[in-house]
Amino acid sequence: MEFLLADAATRFNVNTVSWWTDRHVFLLAVIVYGFSAAYSLFLWRKGFRKDDFINYGMLLVGLILQTKAMFMRGLSLKECPVHNLYEAMTFVDWTIVAAYAVIGLWPKVRYLGAFAAPVIFAIGVFALMPGLDAAHKTLSPIETNALVSLHAALTLLSYGAFGLSSVAAVMYLSQEHDLKFHKLRAVFAVMPPIDRLEIITSRLLWSGFLLLTAGLALIPFLFKDRSEFHVASDPKVIWSALVWCLYLVLLVLHGRFSQSGRKFAWGAVASFAFVVLTFWGVNLLSPTHRF
């Protein structure tokens, strides 16, 4: 009898573990992000008039759940979970929420969460689309080394920083528009001044640019022992170089040629839109990044 009970308990335990995967935890996080996005709409309708902890709290809960999901995935793979499109998207999503969790500690920037929540939710929903979480192919030792993980982590972190900078840029554009057209919301909203938003956007872009530079600098080392691949012929590498140039031009125009805050903000939004809209397609074209 005791043997039977122990057996049932073991089987029940095994079933529970196999049913409750990291994807379920991530799904919970995305649901929380969804509530946050819906609540953001309410805050927008109300004109962002009062400091609001609820949205920050919801995104924080989502971040905890997502961190748990990524830990579960990382522990099961015994490496940084950045090897398929689902993992890449969740990593970018996590970077945006984590960066916001730090920046949102400053009350005047807390409403950044209201602008970030729809983006975070959209990326989360996209990541959960069927087919993106493909089984990991058997990789050669060179593909599984720490350098690959570091390269992937750095570039994905940079996309996260670009994502949050575009969110700050949207916040800038919204506030700038309200001020320009004398909307009462510009004065009543608990928002930072637009020069502060420009600084936040710029610093996030610089962080993303430096991370991307570091990530791309590792490419020659990754291709060192793989003579069958030519770096210059890989569409993903060309695309990454293009993205790098795009952000470099944006930062130089802003820093050296006093580009106006509005154009800079539009540049940040458009650049991230380009990254998001082409990321999947270019991965499909790349022989080294096909997930």
Partner 1 sequence: MPLVVIGLSHHSAPVPVRERFAFAQAALPDALQQLRETGLAREAVILSTCNRVEIYAASDFPEAQAVLRLRQFLLDYHKCTEPMDTEIYARGGRLGLEHLFKVACGLDSMVLGETEILGQLKKAYDTALRHQHTGGVLNKAFQRAFNVAKKIRTETNIQRGSVSVGSVAVELAEKLFSSLSEHPVMVIGAGDTSEKTARALLSRGARSILVSNRSHARAVELAQELGGRAVSFDDWATEFPHIDILISSTAAPHCILDRAKLEPVMKLRKNRPILLIDIAVPRDIDPSVELLENVYLYNIDDLQAIAGDYLRQRQEEIARCEAIIAEKAQAIMTASFLARGCEPAPVSSLGKAGA
What residue ranges bind partner 1 (CB under 8 A)? 175, 179-180, 182, 184, 186-188, 191-196, 258-262
Nearer to partner 1, 7 or 195 (CB): 195
Q: How many CA atoms lie within 13 A of 184 on its CB side?
A: 4
CB of 92 to partner 1, least distance (A): 29
Give 285's DSSP letter: H
CB of 98 to partner 1, least distance (A): 25
CB of 111 to partner 1, least distance (A): 13
CB of 182 to partner 1, least distance (A): 5
Nearer to partner 1, 68 or 185 (CB): 185
Nearer to partner 1, 180 or 230 (CB): 180
Nearer to partner 1, 50 or 230 (CB): 50
Nearer to partner 1, 188 or 244 (CB): 188
What is the Rg, in whole angstroms, of the alpha carbon atoms belonging to the chain? 21
* Residues in Cβ contact with 82 at an 8 Å cutoff, skipping those fewer than 6 apart: 88, 91, 149, 152, 153, 156
Residue 279: how many other CB atoms lie within 10 Å: 19
Q: How far apart are CA 200 and CA 172, in angstroms?
A: 10
* Residues in Cβ contact with 55 at an 8 Å cutoff, skipping those fewer than 6 apart: 36, 39, 40, 43, 110, 111, 113, 114, 117
CB of 171 to partner 1, least distance (A): 13
Are 269 and 276 spatial neighbours (Cβ–Cβ below 8 Å)?
no
| Alpha-helical segments (H) within 104-181 | 112-127, 146-180
Encode 74-88: b = buried (16+ Cβ within 10 Å), e = exposed: beebebbbbbbbbbb
Nearer to partner 1, 223 or 266 (CB): 266
CB of 188 to partner 1, least distance (A): 7
Are 212 and 155 spatial neighbours (Cβ–Cβ below 8 Å)?
yes
Nearer to partner 1, 163 or 192 (CB): 192
Take residue 87 and report the two structure tokens written for it.
């993992």
CB of 180 to partner 1, least distance (A): 6
